[in-house]
């Protein structure tokens, strides 16, 4: 019954929202230039583009966070928007001014960001009706009705396994996302923007999300769907719009396009090889671990990192891969076992010691671990090598500047200058700053933890090429990745971790995806078949997310 | 008028630090986004920075107060104010470091009291040579600070809780050791630092100036200073960048105690007596000065120059208002209002600045 009240009266194929010639610039960067975009009722419209292509800016304009630049001819007043043909936003054919997130919300535009904005301490029902809960005759909150409506809202989305009294903080990411969707719909959203909704999801959660998106389509909600995963776009979307360097490259019906074509549109060139792994000469061991243990997730690990070798470390999320990396890097020092650095036993008690031994760690979470986002590019680039850049204890700011400029050039970081704050950069460029920072320390052992997570295809290939180059120059690389194609494509040797133990090691040339997958899950688990995409990978993710802890 | 150059004596010291601070762009370290044309923006940045705003408020206050009473803008009075603010100034330096890292040290007043008592009791009751007692006094401060630092870094007690606990603990110790008796009758040479002068300038002012220059330089130019900003913005990120986060935090809390120890020595030397309630409430004066100086309580921003201006402004307002006959309570209110106003003006200036930048 709720679904019925939401159904708008629009007929199919009529744009509910259309943007024309939208531009937006920030100091030093033109984020969007004359972008046009429209979405029909009951349509899933994918938005595709590399990091920094302007997707985030565009959705922030649609959701009222940013205001587009006014037309250049009447640029003086920022707020006065004329009915000029050159730049406008229309809802149901009427020009609107989305001057704040609140206005956008009133117009039925809801956004689900990557970082979910729920109150973890409150219940599901309270979250869904936050700010617009039904009231009793006396003006107090009507809890019975709130809970009943919340139940109906969830049921209308075919969600039956969530209890409305559950605390949101105790839910999995996938469930929290469902709550967020229910919340958006409870505010009569007609347009739902989903910013990389599957980035943090795995297997079954992804499938369930797809079913919900399908339901939304049936309810005539327009969904703007942003994702880096091309296969999702083919499963889910009706149309796709590709952005590149802040401009629209084109809009296509998904049925009329191919993956290659989309990649071509995104990067402006064809990527023949996403995994440009060059054969390298594998030399002497640089770092050997013998029974290294650190409670709770590093259990008696023995590993050998050799010059010129890329060791791919596979495993489910929570299998202890990052914990192992942090133990090697001295953040959580080993409690027992031996670490041998070039035939000499060493003890790595701090990151400083690890850096001294030529170990660098590009961490999984670049915004909290990898970078100081509030500081400048130059200050971030120099952070691991401040000692080298200083005379006695004073920092040589000229040398620092030079290093940053070199790094920007070498890694093609898109920034207005080395003085720019890192938080103003796009995700891919931020990752390049992290790489630049650690390359400055000229490491012999490079640990990369999910090096291409949340990064677009172009930057991904670039980072892979760099990784291969470094290995060819004799660096030992330990690459942690949850993407099996990446593990298969880049590694010389593949090691698999499960529940804190190293369970298998393969020579990359001989290994098959199935072998690695079954090692990751343990032998007892049955492989599930998925509708689309890579079966093994989907199955793995499914196991990881739906039944944590049930794994044998 | 010889007295004319005196009110801004501390300010001109501070602007010496400003020159180095500006040259490295560290005066308002992390709020200015990339300035493309640095030279033409320099003047504007100086006046739009929090330090610039404070300087203007300071000059305006001095001029206003000078017209209200002729006792304010005199050499004697201003030199005397320098004496009075020395302790706050010294303790405010490491406090700036601590607040930049996102921490806080509430125990400095109690450490000062404890150190003063140790000085007096060690000399009078235990018959130690006074020189040794002074060393012991300063070491006690450093140790008390190190205890704070140890529990904060190694045990993970939040700085606010830890130093709130030691605020009570150290004061209790001071009272226990002193048995509520004051110590007086120090030899004449002991008063040199607190009451004497050197080339016409109060002795402790020299010490303050030296400490100010060193700590400003360290904060803006050294690895240590850079690391403090990094820790304040993102401690995890700093740790993952191989900066010795725990060691540096231990150092700043120890330094805070050490400075409180020196301040205790100066304090006793200035007032000629030792009592266990010395330095009560000092922590609030110090924190107010640091925050007025533009150091963010959330960490990541702040300068020594700002802190210096904050200390001077508060002291001159207190003194000037008292001289013009304003009652104590009203003085505190004025200081509170100035604190709020300075922060509002800076925020306004900054939002205008960034607004203009995003326009073109």
Reported ipTM: 0.75
Burial class of residue A89 in the structure, from the number of CB atoms within 10 Å of its CB (0-12 exposed, 13-18 middle, 19+ buried): buried
In this structure, which CATH number among 3.40.50.300, 3.40.50.1240, 3.30.1330.10, 3.40.309.10 belongs to the domain A285-358+443-546?
3.40.50.300
User: How far is the C-alpha of A284 from the C-alpha of A304, rounded, in Å?
Assistant: 10
The residue ranking higher by pLDDT, A86 or A358, is A358
Distance (Å) from the alpha carbon of B37 to chain A's nearest alpha carbon: 12
Indicate the residue of B240, B300, B358 with minimum beta-carbon distance to A351. Answer: B240
pLDDT at A273: 62
Residue B104 Rama label (left phi>0; alpha psi -120 to 50; beta) = beta
From chain A, pick out residues whose CB is under 8 angstroms from the CB of B300: 374
Please check whether residue A452 is in contact with residue A460, taking contact to mean a CB–CB distance below 8 angstroms: yes
Q: Which residue of B has its CA nearest to A418?
A: B34
**Average confidence (pLDDT) over A131-150:** 85
Q: Does A388 touch chain B (CB under 8 A)?
A: no
From chain B, pick out residues whose CB is under 8 angstroms from the CB of A393: 218, 222-224
Structure confidence at residue B13 as a pLDDT band (50, 70, 90):
very low
Q: Which residue of A has its CA nearest to B219?
A: A394
pLDDT at A354: 93
Range with top average pLDDT, A100-109, A247-256, A315-324, B219-228 = B219-228
**Tens digit of pLDDT for each residue in A399-437?**
999 999 999 998 888 888 888 998 888 777 888 899 999
User: How far is the C-alpha of A242 from the C-alpha of A265, rounded, in Å?
Assistant: 7
User: How far is the C-alpha of B246 from the C-alpha of A384, rounded, in Å?
Assistant: 16
Q: Which residue of A has its CA nearest to B30?
A: A375
* Residue A491 pLDDT exceeds 70: yes
Domain borders along chain A are 2-108+190-267, 120-187, 285-358+443-546
User: How far is the C-alpha of A294 from the C-alpha of A438, rounded, in Å?
Assistant: 25
Strand A336-341 vs strand A344-346: parallel, antiparallel, or unpaired? antiparallel
**Are the beta carbons of B34 and A419 separated by less than 8 Å?**
yes
Mutate to test the interface with B, among A374, A417, A418 (most CBs of B within 10 A): A374
Indicate the residue of A363, A383, A393 with minimum beta-carbon distance to B222. Answer: A393
Mutate to test the interface with A, among B21, B31, B221, B237 (most CBs of A within 10 A): B237
**Are the beta carbons of B240 and A354 separated by less than 8 Å?**
no
What is the average pLDDT value for chain A, to the nearest integer? 81
In this structure, which CATH number among 3.40.50.300, 3.40.50.11390, 3.30.930.10, 3.90.1150.10 belongs to the domain A2-108+190-267?
3.40.50.300
Interface of B with A (CB under 8 A): 24-25, 30, 33-36, 218, 221-224, 226-227, 229-230, 233-234, 236-244, 300, 357-359
Distance (Å) from the alpha carbon of A7 to chain B's nearest alpha carbon: 40
Nearest residue to A27 (alpha-carbon basis) of B41, B61, B300, B153: B41
**Are the beta carbons of A416 and B34 separated by less than 8 Å?**
yes
Q: In this complex, how many residue pairs, one in chain A and one in chain B, have their CB atoms less than 8 Å apart?
A: 95
From chain A, pick out residues whose CB is under 8 angstroms from the CB of B242: 350-352, 354-355, 384
Place of tokens 């760690």: A361
**Are the beta carbons of A369 and B240 separated by less than 8 Å?**
yes
The residues in A 417-436 lying below 8 A from B, measured between CB atoms, are: 417, 419-421, 424
The residue ranking higher by pLDDT, A78 or A24, is A24
From chain A, pick out residues whose CB is under 8 angstroms from the CB of B230: 372, 375, 379, 383
- Would you state the structure tokens that stand for residue B286, as one six-digit string? 């110090």
**Tens digit of pLDDT for each residue in B82-129?**
888 999 999 999 999 999 999 999 999 999 999 999 999 988 888 889
Q: Does A332 touch chain B (CB under 8 A)?
A: no
- What is the maximum alpha-carbon separation in chain A? 79
User: How far is the C-alpha of A129 from the C-alpha of A123, rounded, in Å?
Assistant: 10
Please check whether residue A351 is in contact with residue A326, taking contact to mean a CB–CB distance below 8 angstroms: no
Asked if domains A2-108+190-267 and A285-358+443-546 share a fold, the reply is yes
Structure confidence at residue B20 as a pLDDT band (50, 70, 90):
very low
* Residue A257 pLDDT exceeds 60: yes
Question: Is the pTM higher than 0.80?
Answer: no
pLDDT at A272: 52
Structure confidence at residue A545 as a pLDDT band (50, 70, 90):
very low
From chain B, pick out residues whose CB is under 8 angstroms from the CB of A370: 237, 240
Please check whether residue B222 is in contact with residue A333, taking contact to mean a CB–CB distance below 8 angstroms: no
Indicate the residue of B33, B222, B243 with minimum beta-carbon distance to A383. Answer: B243
Residues forming a β-bridge with B288: none
- Would you state the structure tokens that stand for residue A102, as one six-digit string? 């609140």
Distance (Å) from the alpha carbon of B220 to chain A's nearest alpha carbon: 9
pLDDT at A81: 45
pLDDT at A94: 86
3 state DSSP class of B213:
helix
**Tens digit of pLDDT for each residue in A439-487?**
999 999 999 998 887 676 677 888 888 899 999 999 999 999 887 778 8
Structure confidence at residue A116 as a pLDDT band (50, 70, 90):
confident
pLDDT at A539: 35
Cβ-based neighbours of B76, under 8 Å, separated by 6 or more: none
pLDDT at A285: 92
Please check whether residue A126 is in contact with residue A147, taking contact to mean a CB–CB distance below 8 angstroms: no
Residues forming a β-bridge with A361: A447
Mutate to test the interface with A, among B20, B34, B356 (most CBs of A within 10 A): B34
Structure confidence at residue A85 as a pLDDT band (50, 70, 90):
low
Place of tokens 């005539």: A220
**Tens digit of pLDDT for each residue in B211-255?**
999 999 999 999 999 999 999 999 999 999 999 999 999 999 999
From chain B, pick out residues whose CB is under 8 angstroms from the CB of A424: 33
Range of the domain at B141: 2-359
From chain A, pick out residues whose CB is under 8 angstroms from the CB of B224: 393
Q: Does A28 touch chain B (CB under 8 A)?
A: yes
From chain A, pick out residues whose CB is under 8 angstroms from the CB of B229: 375
**Are the beta carbons of A352 and B242 separated by less than 8 Å?**
yes
Cβ-based neighbours of A97, under 8 Å, separated by 6 or more: A81, A89, A103
User: How far is the C-alpha of A543 from the C-alpha of B267, rounded, in Å?
Assistant: 68
**Are the beta carbons of A393 and B300 separated by less than 8 Å?**
no
Please check whether residue A454 is in contact with residue A476, taking contact to mean a CB–CB distance below 8 angstroms: no
**Are the beta carbons of B244 and A416 separated by less than 8 Å?**
no
* Residue B2 pLDDT exceeds 70: no
Indicate the residue of A26, A355, A379 with minimum beta-carbon distance to B358. Answer: A26
**Are the beta carbons of B237 and A369 separated by less than 8 Å?**
yes
Burial class of residue A136 in the structure, from the number of CB atoms within 10 Å of its CB (0-12 exposed, 13-18 middle, 19+ buried): exposed
User: How far is the C-alpha of A197 from the C-alpha of A208, rounded, in Å?
Assistant: 12
From chain A, pick out residues whose CB is under 8 angstroms from the CB of B33: 27, 419-421, 424
Check the CA dihedral B240-B241-B246-B247 and report its sign. Answer: positive
Structure-derived torsion over alpha carbons of residues A328, A515, A365, A428, reported in degrees to the nearest 10:
120
Distance (Å) from the alpha carbon of A76 to chain B's nearest alpha carbon: 9
- Would you state the structure tokens that stand for residue A81, as one six-digit string? 């928007």
pLDDT at A268: 66
pLDDT at A269: 56
- Would you state the structure tokens that stand for residue A296, as one six-digit string? 């709770």
The residue ranking higher by pLDDT, A78 or B58, is B58
Structure confidence at residue A101 as a pLDDT band (50, 70, 90):
confident
Please check whether residue A51 is in contact with residue A57, taking contact to mean a CB–CB distance below 8 angstroms: no
**Average confidence (pLDDT) over A366-379:** 90
- How many Å separate Cα A531 from the centre of its chain? 23
Cβ-based neighbours of B51, under 8 Å, separated by 6 or more: B18, B21, B27, B28, B293, B294, B303, B305, B306, B309
pLDDT at A265: 82
Count how many domains chain B has.
1
Place of tokens 């590019």: A377
Distance (Å) from the alpha carbon of B231 to chain A's nearest alpha carbon: 9
Nearest residue to A34 (alpha-carbon basis) of A253, A249, A262: A249
Please check whether residue B323 is in contact with residue B78, taking contact to mean a CB–CB distance below 8 angstroms: no
**Are the beta carbons of A28 and B36 separated by less than 8 Å?**
yes
Q: Does A74 touch chain B (CB under 8 A)?
A: no
From chain B, pick out residues whose CB is under 8 angstroms from the CB of A383: 226, 230, 238, 241, 243
Please check whether residue A462 is in contact with residue A451, taking contact to mean a CB–CB distance below 8 angstroms: no
* Residue A177 pLDDT exceeds 50: yes
How many other C-beta atoms lie within 10 A of the C-beta of residue A359? 28
From chain B, pick out residues whose CB is under 8 angstroms from the CB of A352: 242-244
> Omega of the bond prior to A296 within 30 degrees of 0, cis?
yes
How many other C-beta atoms lie within 10 A of the C-beta of residue B262? 24
Q: Which of B117-131, B271-285, B327-341 has the lowest mean pLDDT?
A: B327-341
Q: Which residue of B has its CA nearest to A370?
A: B237
Q: Does A72 touch chain B (CB under 8 A)?
A: no
* Residue A80 pLDDT exceeds 70: no
From chain B, pick out residues whose CB is under 8 angstroms from the CB of A369: 236-237, 240
**Are the beta carbons of A355 and B242 separated by less than 8 Å?**
yes
Strand A298-306 vs strand A109-112: parallel, antiparallel, or unpaired? unpaired
Domain CATH number, residue B45 = 1.10.3470
The residue ranking higher by pLDDT, B188 or A76, is B188
* Residue B133 pLDDT exceeds 80: yes
Give the percent of chain A with pLDDT over 70.
86
pLDDT at A7: 38
The residues in A 180-239 lying below 8 A from B, measured between CB atoms, are: none
Give the percent of chain B with pLDDT over 90.
45
Q: Which of A84-93, A282-291, B158-167 has the lowest mean pLDDT?
A: A84-93
pLDDT at B8: 37
């Amino acid at each position: 019954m709720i679904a019925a009240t939401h159904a708008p009266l629009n007929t199919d194929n009529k744009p509910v929202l259309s943007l024309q010639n939208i531009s937006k610039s920030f100091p030093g960067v033109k984020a969007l230039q004359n972008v046009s975009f429209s979405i029909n009722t009951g349509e899933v419209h994918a938005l595709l583009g590399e990091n920094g292509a302007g997707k985030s800016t565009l959705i922030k304009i649609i959701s009222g966070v940013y205001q587009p630049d006014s037309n250049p001819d009447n640029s003086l007043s920022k707020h006065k928007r004329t009915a000029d043909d050159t730049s406008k936003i229309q809802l149901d054919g009427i020009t609107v001014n989305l001057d704040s997130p609140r206005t956008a919300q009133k117009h039925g535009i809801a956004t689900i960001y990557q970082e979910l904005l729920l109150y973890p301490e409150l219940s599901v029902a309270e979250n869904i009706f936050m700010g617009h809960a039904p009231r009793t005759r006396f003006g107090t909150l009507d809890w019975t009705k709130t809970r009943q409506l919340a139940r109906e809202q969830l049921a209308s989305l075919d969600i039956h396994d969530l209890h409305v009294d559950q605390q949101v903080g105790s839910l999995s990411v996938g469930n929290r996302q469902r709550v967020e969707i229910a919340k958006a719909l409870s505010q009569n959203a007609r347009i739902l923007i989903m910013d990389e909704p599957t980035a943090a999801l795995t297997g079954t959660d992804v499938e369930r999300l797809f079913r919900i998106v399908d339901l939304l389509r049936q309810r005539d909600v327009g969904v703007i769907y942003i994702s880096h995963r091309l296969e999702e776009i083919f499963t889910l979307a009706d149309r796709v719009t590709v952005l590149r360097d802040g401009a629209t490259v084109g809009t296509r019906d998904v049925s009329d396009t191919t993956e290659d074509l989309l990649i071509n549109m995104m990067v402006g060139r064809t990527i023949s090889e996403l995994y440009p792994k060059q054969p390298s000469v594998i030399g002497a061991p640089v770092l050997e671990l013998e029974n290294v243990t650190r409670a709770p997730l590093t259990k008696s690990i023995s590993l050998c990192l050799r010059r010129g070798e890329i060791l791919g470390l596979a495993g489910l999320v929570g299998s202890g891969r990052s914990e192992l990396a942090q133990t090697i890097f001295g953040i959580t020092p080993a409690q027992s076992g031996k670490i041998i650095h070039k035939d000499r036993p060493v003890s790595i008690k701090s990151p400083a010691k690890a850096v001294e031994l030529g170990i660098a760690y590009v961490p999984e979470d670049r915004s909290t671990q990898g970078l100081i986002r509030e500081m400048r590019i130059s200050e971030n680039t120099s952070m691991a090598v401040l000692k080298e850049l200083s005379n006695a204890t004073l920092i040589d700011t000229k040398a620092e500047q030079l290093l940053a400029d070199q790094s920007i050039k070498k890694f093609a970081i898109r920034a207005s200058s080395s003085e720019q704050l890192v938080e103003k950069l796009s995700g891919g460029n931020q990752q390049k700053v992290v790489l630049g920072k650690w390359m400055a320390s000229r490491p012999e052992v490079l640990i990369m933890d999910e090096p291409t997570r949340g990064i677009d295809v172009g930057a991904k290939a670039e980072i892979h090429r760099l990784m291969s180059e470094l290995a060819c120059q004799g660096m030992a690389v330990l690459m942690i990745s949850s993407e099996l194609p990446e593990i298969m494509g880049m590694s010389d040797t593949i090691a698999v971790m499960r529940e804190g133990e190293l369970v298998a090691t393969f020579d990359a040339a001989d290994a098959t995806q199935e072998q690695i997958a079954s090692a990751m899950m343990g032998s007892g688990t049955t492989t599930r078949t998925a509708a689309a995409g890579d079966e093994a990978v989907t199955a793995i993710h499914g196991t990881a997310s739906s039944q944590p802890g049930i794994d044998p | 008028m010889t007295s004319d150059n005196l009110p801004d004596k501390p300010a001109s010291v501070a602007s010496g630090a400003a020159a180095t601070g500006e040259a490295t762009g560290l005066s308002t370290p992390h709020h200015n986004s990339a300035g493309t044309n640095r030279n033409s923006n320099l003047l504007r940045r100086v006046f739009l920075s929090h330090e610039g705003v404070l300087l203007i408020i300071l000059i305006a206050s001095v001029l206003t107060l000078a017209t209200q009473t002729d006792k304010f803008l005199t050499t004697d009075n201003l030199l005397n104010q320098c004496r009075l603010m020395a302790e706050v100034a010294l303790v405010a330096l490491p406090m700036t470091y601590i607040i930049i890292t996102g921490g806080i040290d509430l125990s400095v007043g109690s450490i000062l009291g404890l150190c003063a008592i140790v000085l007096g009791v060690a000399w009078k009751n235990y018959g130690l040579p006074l020189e040794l007692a002074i060393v012991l006094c300063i070491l006690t401060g450093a140790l008390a600070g190190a205890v704070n630092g140890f529990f904060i870094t190694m045990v993970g007690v939040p700085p606010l809780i830890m130093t709130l606990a030691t605020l009570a603990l150290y004061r209790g110790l001071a009272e226990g050791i002193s048995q509520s008796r004051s110590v007086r009758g120090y030899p004449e040479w002991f008063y040199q630092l607190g009451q004497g002068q050197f080339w016409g300038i109060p002795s402790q002012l020299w010490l303050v100036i030296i400490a100010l220059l060193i700590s400003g330089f360290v904060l803006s130019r050294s690895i240590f200073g850079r690391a403090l900003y990094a820790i304040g913005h993102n401690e995890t990120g700093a740790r993952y960048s191989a900066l010795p986060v725990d060691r540096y935090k231990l150092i700043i809390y120890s330094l805070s105690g050490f400075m409180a120890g020196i301040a205790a020595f100066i304090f006793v030397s200035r007032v000629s007596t030792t009592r266990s309630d010395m330095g009560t409430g000092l922590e609030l004066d110090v924190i107010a000065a640091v925050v007025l100086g533009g150091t963010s309580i959330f960490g990541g921003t702040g300068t020594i120059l700002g802190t210096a201006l904050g200390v001077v402004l508060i002291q001159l307002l207190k003194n000037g208002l008292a001289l013009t006959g304003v009652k104590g309570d009203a003085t505190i209110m004025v200081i509170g209002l100035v604190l709020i106003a300075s922060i509002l003006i800076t925020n306004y200036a900054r939002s205008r600045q960034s607004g203009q930048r995003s326009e073109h």
